[in-house]
Structure 1
């Protein structure tokens, strides 16, 4: 007797498809995210996947947005801990680095090369607000945005190009393959660019201002 088919809502089906695509991306890169592979992992037909996303290119674009939403949620958690516990910037940089290491850096570059453009959702706006709240009164918020944008760009391309660019400066293979050092370096550069004190004096007040703005 054939087992009854599992009936899913469209929202459940889309979530399962995106989760499966994200797993394939993390395991083997963009090339592994194929409609047939995603369908097999979810227990669905190829037509079922395309019914929800149209084609592979649209699936990849939605996967990047899906990843962006996950990153935004993760950063909210990082910010909450950071503002409450007077942590340094290292956790923030590590979160961006870890996200793009899961294949999303490669995906972002591949989609951009193919001509896809995200109109932008301002997913890092809460980070901008939190960082800017720690700066001296009268500081330029555009400088805060540019500093964070430079960090974001570096972390997005780190997995693809970081080690090669570091070798071009004469670093050894071992040193160029060590991603922990650049993460620490970027945390320090962000601190310097924003002119923050090493222990972020006044962070409790800044944190309170940031949280108040979310209510």
Structure 2
């Protein structure tokens, strides 16, 4: 790779893959899946197209790797927050906000849909499991404090699955589905807060 002065910088294979994925993620956030172009990433990093193909095979391989990269980063962030935060402090609104960050602001929903339309099939490897565990820990702690029985973990998993589905759809369609129901002027975050409150109830 080349540094800012144009000099070649030798990197390990893993460091090169990391740099390529980070550059691809920036393109995804800025322009969506169509903005993730091998030629652009190679130019930005001072690489050849062939170097990127060496690491990922082709553009589709890069896109799949980028989706896994985003998923791993999300899991690491949730686990990091769990390790320093108060379990009782997370609620469904906060969970919805984290999911919106993943699916909408980072462009992960559009990337996953792009891959699925190209024939890729998701494996369901448990990316949202840590978020369900964090939510459940908070729900169980609040139940104990109120003298109630702990809720079933499966309920927390289903809540996260439902929130994930809604935030995924919102990331793809914006507020179109709200307007289709005649909801004019309702912000997406307002709608998600309402969904979270209904689940809490």
TM-score, L = length of structure 1:
0.78
1:87, CA displacement in angstroms?
Answer: 4.7
- Flag structure 2 segments of 5+ consecutive residues without an equivalent: 141-147
Change (3 A) 1:89 1:49: same
- Flag structure 1 segments of 5+ consecutive residues without an equivalent: 193-215
- Contact 2:38–2:59 (CA<8 Å) still a contact in 1? yes
Q: Paired residue for 2:48? A: 45
**1:152-195: CA deviation from partner (whole Å, max 9, x where unpaired):** 111122121241110011011x32xx222023123213323xxx
- DSSP-derived class of the 1:120 partner: coil
Q: 1:158-173 to 2 correspondence within 5 Å? A: 158-172=170-184
- Contact 1:97–1:183 (CA<8 Å) still a contact in 2? no
Find out whether 1:182 has 2:191 as its counterpart: yes
Change (3 A) 1:81 1:187: farther
Q: Paired residue for 1:108? A: 112
Q: Paired residue for 2:144? A: none
Distance 2:6 2:71 in 1: 37
Distance 2:56 2:50 in 1: 10
Which of 118, 123, 126 is equivalent to 2:127? 123
Distance 2:28 2:82 in 1: 27
* 6-15 vs 123-132, greater mean Cα deviation: 123-132
- Contact 2:91–2:135 (CA<8 Å) still a contact in 1? no
Q: Paired residue for 1:95? A: 98
- Contact 2:95–2:135 (CA<8 Å) still a contact in 1? no
RMSD of aligned Cα (Å):
2.2
1:85, CA displacement in angstroms?
Answer: 6.4
1:22, CA displacement in angstroms?
Answer: 0.2
